[in-house]
Structure 1
Amino acid sequence: MPALSERDLKALIVSNLPPVDQHDEIVEAVGEDWVRLRLPFRQDYLGTDLWLSGDGVVFSGPLVMGFADTVMYSCVHAMLGRDVIAVMVNLMVTFLRPAKAADIMGHGRLIRKGKRHAYVEVYLYSDGDAEPIAHVTSTHSIAARPAD
C-alpha cells in the first residue's frame, strides 16, 4: 500500500514545494509503486517557437521537465511517506514528440529503492494520446526527516 493517499500527496506538494514550482497539478491516482498526476493546460505554458513540422508551437521545455520533477518527487513521497527528505541527484529527459495543446499526464513509477537512493521513471503524455511525449528517469537521495 502507498504511504500517502491522493489527498495527502497533494497537501504535501502544496506545503513542500515553493509556489513557483506549483502549477495546479492534480494528483489523480496513487498505486502500490506508482502515481499519476495531471498538469492542466494553460495557453501561457506554450513557447513561441514553431515545431519543425509546422504543427504549431510547443510547450516550454523547462515547464515540462519541472512537471516531470514534481511527478518524481510525488512518487518518492507517495511510496515512502512524508517523513523523508527526497533530493534529486540526477535527471535524464528524452523528449519524444511535442506535447499537444492539452493537459499533460505524468505516470511515475518507483523502480527501485535502496538504503539511500530511490530510482524513478516517468512517462509524460498529452491527454488523450497513447504515445508518450517524454521519458524521464531520475535518482533521488533519500534521508529521514529530522524530528521537530
Structure 2
Amino acid sequence: MNIQTLKMDVVTLNAFLQREFPQWNSETGSQVMDVTADGVICRLPFNDSQLRPGGTVSGPTMMGLADSAMYAAVLSRIGPVALAVTTNLNINFMRKPEPRAIVATRRILKLGKRLAIGDVSIVSEGDTDLVAHATVTYSIPPQR
C-alpha cells in the first residue's frame, strides 16, 4: 500500500536526522536501515544503559525507538519538516526483549494534511517474535 510518494530515501533521511536531531544517531547509534513504500525500518544498537533489572531492554528505550521510527516514516513521506511532533503514543509490551539491538518496522496507516497515524512492531534483532507494538500519531505543521 503506497500511502504517498517517497520524498526522502535512507541516505537523505539519515543525513537530515543527524543534522536536526543529532541525539538520534550520535547518542544512541540509531539508524534508519530501509525506507519502503509501506514505511521504514530502524535499528537501535544495544548498550548496557538500556537495561532494566532482570536483564531486559527498558520500556522507555523501546518507546523512544517507536517514536523515532514514526518520525522517520512521516518525514520519508512529507520531506524535511523538523517540526512534525508526536501527539499520541500507545505501546504494548508483549515479551521480554533480549539484551541486544532492537529493530522497529514502521508502517504508515493514514497520512493526512495535519495528522499521520501509524503502527510499529519492535523485535529483538535476529528474532521474529514481537517484543512490543505501538500506535503513534504525529501532528504535521501547516505548510506555509
- What range is the shorter-chain TM-score in? 0.7 to 0.9
Q: 1:139 to 1:15 in 2, by over 3 A?
A: same
SS of corresponding position for 1:143: coil
Asked whether the 8 Å contact 1:84–1:142 carries over to 2, the reply is no
Segments ≥4 residues shifted beyond 6 Å: none
TM-score in terms of structure 2 length: 0.88
**Aligned pair 1:6/2:10, yes or no?**
yes
Asked whether the 8 Å contact 1:9–1:27 carries over to 2, the reply is yes
**Aligned pair 1:101/2:99, yes or no?**
yes
* Fraction of identical pairs, as percent: 32
Asked whether the 8 Å contact 1:123–1:135 carries over to 2, the reply is yes
Question: Whole-Å Cα distance in 2 between the matches of residues 33 and 77 of structure 1?
Answer: 13
Asked whether the 8 Å contact 1:105–1:125 carries over to 2, the reply is yes
Gaps of 5+ in 2: none
Residue 122 of structure 1 and its aligned partner are, at CA, apart by: 0.4
Amino acid at match of 1:62: P
Asked whether the 8 Å contact 2:97–2:123 carries over to 1, the reply is yes
Residue among 30, 34, 40 paired with 1:35? 40
Q: Which structure's CA Rg is the greater one?
A: 1
Gaps of 5+ in 1: 51-56
Aligned pairs (5 A) from 1:1-148: 1-17=5-21, 19=23, 22-47=27-52, 49-50=53-54, 57-83=55-81, 85-144=83-142
Q: Deviations over 1:76-110 (max 9, x none)?
A: 00111114631111100000011101110010011
Asked whether the 8 Å contact 2:8–2:77 carries over to 1, the reply is yes
Q: Deviations over 1:8-31 (max 9, x none)?
A: 111122222252784111211001
Cα RMSD of the aligned pairs, angstroms, is: 1.8
The structure where strand makes up a greater share of residues is 1
TM-score in terms of structure 1 length: 0.86
Q: How many residues align?
A: 139
SS of corresponding position for 1:19: helix
